[in-house]
Amino acid sequence: MPPAFGLFWDVDGTMAETEGDGHRRAFNAAFAERGLPWRWSMAGYGELLRISGGGESLRHWLATAPPGAPGDQAGQWAMAAELQERKQVHYGRIVAAGALAPRPGVARLIQDAAAAGWRQWIVTTSRRRAVEALLCTRPFQPLGSAFCGWICGEDVTRKKPDPQAYAMALRQSGLAPHQVVVLEDSPHGLEAARRAGLRCLATPSRGTGDRGLTGAAAVVDHLGDGPQQPATVLTGPALGSQPHVDLAYLEGLLHLQGSPSPVRPAPPGP
C-alpha cells in the first residue's frame, strides 16, 4: 500500500482572493449600510490583515477612534459585533453573485490529490458559514467532496497563528506531521503550521503579499494552471517538468533536509 499523504488547505486568500475582493467589500457595504463614513482601501485592509480574525481586526481599528466610533471599549465591541454580523450577510451575497473564483491551480490540485488518494482537509479559523458560502458556489461545488473534513473557527478556542487548528486536523485525520503539506497565504497561517510541525507551501495573496513568509518550505506566486498560467517559485525548490505545482513537487517538499518540529506542544482542542 502506498504511503498516505495529506493536504491541509487554508481558505481565505489561499483558495480564492476572498480578502480584498470579498471580505473587504463586505465590510465596506456594512459600513455604508450603517451610514458610517468609512471605506477600507486594499492597502489599508492589508495592514489590518496583520491581525488574525475579521472581528479582532475590526475591534482593533475601532480602538483607533475613527469618526463615528464609540469612545468606550464596550461600545466599540458592541459595534464590532453588529458590523461583523452584517458583513457576513454582505459577504454571502458577494460570493453568491459569483464574484470569487478559485485561484490558479486550486481546482486542479484538489482534483489531482483526490484522484491520488491524498487526505484533504480544510483548516481555517474563519467562520463556518463563510466557508460554506464559498464552497457552495458553482466554481467550488464540484470540489467539496474531495475533503475529508473541515476545521473552522467555531471548532477552536485560539485562532492562527496558534497551532490549535492544525493540531486538531492532525488528530482527526490520523496523519502524522511528516505526511502533510499545508497550503497557506499569510504569515499567521505559516506560523500556525510551523508551530504544529508541518511543512508549508505559501501562495501569497493580494491581501497579504509575500511579507513574513520566511520559513515556508517554498513560496510560489500561485499554484499554476498549465502553460497559460505558469507558477513562479519565489523561494524554495524549482518546479519539475511541469509549469505548475503538482503532487510530485509537494512530496518533494516533505523530503527536504530536516524535518520541522513543533515549537511547543500543541495543546488539545476543545
CA 42 to chain centroid, in Å, comes to 17
Which one from 10, 185, 225, 246 is the annotated catalytic residue? 10
d(CA 124, CA 128): 9
Residue 135 contacts residue 141 (beta carbons within 8 Å): yes
Phi first, then psi, for residue 42 (nearest 5°) are: -65, -40
Strand partners, 9: 122, 183
30 is written with which cell numbers?
456594512
**Three-state SS across 71-127?**
CCHHHHHHHHHHHHHHHHHHHHHHHHCCCCCECCCHHHHHHHHHHCCCEEEEECCCC
The CA radius of gyration of the chain, in Å to the nearest whole number, is: 19
d(CA 163, CA 156): 10
Residues 6+ away with beta carbon under 8 Å from 41: none
162 in catalytic set: no
Which one from 12, 155, 162, 246 is the annotated catalytic residue? 12
d(CA 251, CA 199): 10
Helix axes 187-195, 164-173, angle to 10 degrees: 50
Query: HSE (CB half, 13 Å, CA atoms) of 76?
Result: 17
Annotated catalytic sites, by residue?
10, 12
